[in-house]
Amino acid sequence: MQKFSAFELFKQGLNGQAGWKPQWRSPEPKAAYDAVIIGGGGHGLGAAYYLAKQHGMRNIAVLEKGWLGGGNTGRNTTIIRSNYLFDESAGLYDHSVKLWEGLSQELNYNVMFSQRGVMMLAHTVHDVQVFKRHVHANRANGVDNEWLSPEEAKAYCPPLNISDNMRYPVLGAALQRRGGTARHDAVAWGYARAADDLGVDIIENCEVTGIRRNAAGAVEAVETTKGLIRTPKIGVSAAGHTSVVLGMAGVRLPLESYPLQALVSEPIKPVFPCVVMSNTIHAYISQSDKGELVIGAGTDIYTSYTQRGGLHISQHTLEAICELFPAFRRMRMLRNWGGIVDVTPDRSPIVAKTPVPGLYVNCGWGTGGFKATPGAAHTLAWTIAKDEPHPINAPFTIERFRDGHLIDEAAAAAVAH
């Protein structure tokens, strides 16, 4: 692998930067692999990387029906945080934040992880009580989170409007300073480059059309648009399409797929120092390093696979943004798009074995999967390699819905995740 460094950049500069090679190969699929990952987003590519790096499984492939990171990895608003209420969630999401903190070094790829702080606004007495409960629960779990008065919130984020003339005035905020953003494309590319270097075959434009099982019920092959690929282990990281993929193996899941929209403004000079989330009035905003305001909305109300949603959802979000940040009222929006998110009844993910031997699933991240990319990838790889979950993802099974052990972040906060 061609290492990236300041010296390498200088050296290539002497040659007009013409010496750079493609960052990963584009191989044709082999007839058989030791394991196949379905889904070439950050989660799937990361799982392949950790399988190769930490579990010595080098004869593996990642199958992607489109292009790398073209699904939800490239469609989210890049917010990273771990201030979840329950112990199980704090364990999983904070595992991710810790991996994020070393990821650029580990991959030799600048994922632009920026711990600029994630501030969640409280607008009602209920919000205040819920967020303070979160602050205490997080601290008990070793996750940083602190309560700010409206004035302290404005000091941390000067564009914020804390006037009491708003329909939903800011009554305070919970701030996780270790939270922040990262560059989403770089995460997929960094994992792809590092996995490829370890021998992983990354196969784009290769859609899985079927999963074959042997007489014992275990998986034995995947049917794809590039032919049959035999494998004893399949890991699925297909986000919104997980129900479709697992349906090929006869597995039903507690998932529904919804469109989630985001939009960006025209780029402007640095004006917004952190991430601000307002779950109550559905507005999530940060500024990318390119200068665009990156804005997230709530999901549309109906299930869909269209990767687009209704304009009124974005409009609703922009109304909230304009009230919270009056300075942005004359900004023009550049693009808006949708991704398909797979939502579980308790708004917590599933990273687990399935009832089918050799079939493993990483799904149900709903509206907040990007933040979990390294942790989901790491624990999925562990689960695939050892055929049993890592202690961190052990609670996130499919069977929790049968056994009543929900990790009910939905009820805990009544907010987006």
Check binding of 304 to other proteins (CB under 8 A).
Answer: yes
Total chain residues near other proteins (CB under 8 A): 23
- Cα separation, 395 vs 59, in Å, equals 29
Q: Are the C-beta atoms of 235 and 93 separated by less than 8 Å?
A: no
Residue 65 binding other proteins, by CB under 8 A: no
* Calpha distance 88→366 (Å, rounded): 17
Going residue by residue from 216 to 245, which x/- string records binding to other proteins, judged by CB under 8 A?
-------------------------x-xx-
**Binding window for other proteins (CB under 8 A); candidates: 151-159, 186-194, 309-317, 366-374:** 309-317
Closer to other proteins at the Cβ: 201 or 346?
346
All residues at 6 or more sequence positions from 245 whose CB lies less than 8 Å from its CB, including other chains:
38, 208, 211, 236, 238
Nearest to 343 by CA among 404, 414, 405, 254: 254
Q: Does 207 bind other proteins (CB under 8 A)?
A: no
Q: Which stretch binds other proteins (CB under 8 A): 198-206, 299-307, 320-328, 380-388?
A: 299-307
Q: Which stretch binds other proteins (CB under 8 A): 154-162, 171-179, 250-258, 321-329?
A: 250-258
Q: Restricting to residues 143-172, name those near other proteins by CB under 8 A.
A: none
Q: How remote is the C-alpha of 70 from its chain's centroid?
A: 13
Least CB distance from residue 401 to other proteins, whole Å?
Answer: 5
C-beta of 126 vs 252, nearer to other proteins:
252
Comparing CB distances to other proteins, the nearer of 138 and 314 is: 314
DSSP tag of 389: -
Q: Is 252 in the site for other proteins (CB under 8 A)?
A: yes
55: left (phi over 0), alpha (psi -120 to 50) or beta: alpha
Beta-carbon contacts of 293 under 8 Å, excluding residues fewer than 6 positions away, are: 264, 265, 268, 272, 285, 286, 287, 328, 331
Q: Which is nearer to other proteins, 233 or 400 (CB)?
A: 400
What is the per-residue DSSP string for 52-81? HHHS---SEEEE-SSSTT-SGGGTS--EE-
* Under rule CB under 8 A, residue 9 binds other proteins: no
Angle, alpha carbons 112-326-414 (nearest 5°): 65
Of 5-13, 56-64, 75-83, 246-254, which segment contacts other proteins by CB under 8 A? 246-254
User: Nearest distance from residue 305's CB to other proteins, in Å?
Assistant: 5
Q: Is 356 in the site for other proteins (CB under 8 A)?
A: no
Nearer to other proteins, 67 or 305 (CB): 305
Which residue from 210, 242, 247 is spatially nearest to 227, judged by alpha carbons?
210
Residue 416 in 3-state DSSP?
A: coil
Q: Which residues bind other proteins (CB under 8 A)?
A: 241, 243-244, 252-257, 301-306, 310-312, 342, 345, 401-403
